[in-house]
Amino acid sequence: MEIELSDKLAALAHPNRLALFRLLMRRYPDGVPAGEIAEALDYKANTASAYLSALKHAGLITQQRSGTSLMYAADLTGLRGMFDGLLSGCCQNRPDICNPAAAAAMPAPTVEHPLNILFICTGNSARSLLAEAILTQEGGGRFRAFSAGTLPAHAPRPEVLSMLEAKGLDTSSLQSKPLDQFSAPDAPKMDFIFTVCDHAANEECPAWPGQPMSAHWGLADPVKAEGTDAERRLVFQQAYGLLRNRIKAFAALPFDTLDRMSLQHQLDGIGQLNSPD
């Protein structure tokens, strides 16, 4: 049965359902368990279930079983169908509505005109700092890397600093910083924003000026690793290797030959790379 445009709009008209859908968009293309969604949004389990059912019925999210869990993800095909129905035919007479900038390629980053990249996690003590340091080294001056935390720690983890220094990366500028520092009027304008932990992606972020592109590159928190010192060091090494692979793939993208939709697909795909060095 074809889903009416009015059904899709009605499903998103409820502020709590909209908040749930926005969470799944921030986590896309990952699937998120129903229990995690309820916890992140502080909904009762039965309430979250009702919202998920309404969004699924409207064709805006998908449901898949993984073991004993039901996993939910945003359905971009359904979302595009909603916009196609809403803006059908607009380009015949209103090209200002169908934004032509969305099809334009992003200028290639250069040393003279670098792109600004912000990595976000919760504590800004491990993963996002690793990403900042790695991109600074791997980017060849074509990127300016930053990091921040939604609930920043007092300082970077010593395991992170010692590992980076052992690999010859500069740690002199690394510090744990609050996210709102980068939404201030005098903050650098970001071109890309990547969340590297699920918890940070579950939270609402500021409305960034300039509409930077974003993607979720989540990975497990090495700080929570248990075991011997050697086992914990291995987990930090694995996090470093995984982020390095993703960042090298990002830095190698042909930015000036990809329209924004193609570039977004590339960013989402990089977030699915799961094999560290």
Q: Averaged in consecutive runs of 10 residues, what is the pLDDT profile of the chain (277 residues)? A: 84 96 94 95 96 96 92 92 72 53 74 96 96 96 96 95 95 94 89 93 81 92 92 95 97 92 93 75
Give the model's pLDDT for residue 93: 47
Class of domain 103-270: alpha beta
Give the number of other CB atoms < 10 A from CB of residue 103: 11
DSSP 149: E
Query: Sign of torsion, CA 50 54 57 59?
Result: negative
Spatial contact of 210 and 190, defined as CB atoms under 8 Å apart: yes
**What's the gap between Cα 175 and its chain centre?**
21
CATH code of the region 5-91: 1.10.10.10
Which residue is it, tokens 């910083």? 177
**Catalytic: 98?**
no
What are 183's two structure tokens?
């939404």
Distance CA 276, CA 238 (A): 6
Q: 115, 103, 127, 274: which is closest to 196 by C-alpha? A: 127
- DSSP SS3 for 196: coil
Phi-psi group of 99: left, alpha or beta (phi > 0 → left; psi -120 to 50 → alpha; rest → beta) = beta
Q: 197, 188, 192: which is closest to 214 by C-alpha? A: 192
Distances (CA, A) of 133 to 20, 170, 183, 210, 251: 33, 7, 21, 24, 14
Catalytic residue among 90, 91, 98, 197: 197
The residue type found at 241 is G
Q: 124, 118, 17: which is closest to 72 by C-alpha? A: 17
DSSP 272: T
Distance CA 131, CA 120 (A): 9
Query: Sign of torsion, CA 160 165 168 172?
Result: positive
Which residues belong to CATH 3.40.50.2300 in the chain? 103-270
Distance CA 144, CA 244 (A): 16
**Catalytic: 90?**
no
Catalytic residue among 90, 91, 98, 121: 121
Spatial contact of 178 and 152, defined as CB atoms under 8 Å apart: yes
Distance CA 178, CA 116 (A): 17
Give the model's pLDDT for residue 3: 84
**Catalytic: 121?**
yes
Question: Residues 226-261: pLDDT tens digits?
Answer: 999 999 999 999 999 999 999 999 999 999 899 888
Which residues belong to CATH 1.10.10.10 in the chain? 5-91
Give the model's pLDDT for residue 28: 93
pTM: predicted TM-score of the whole model, two decimal places: 0.83
Distance CA 53, CA 48 (A): 9
Distance CA 274, CA 15 (A): 34
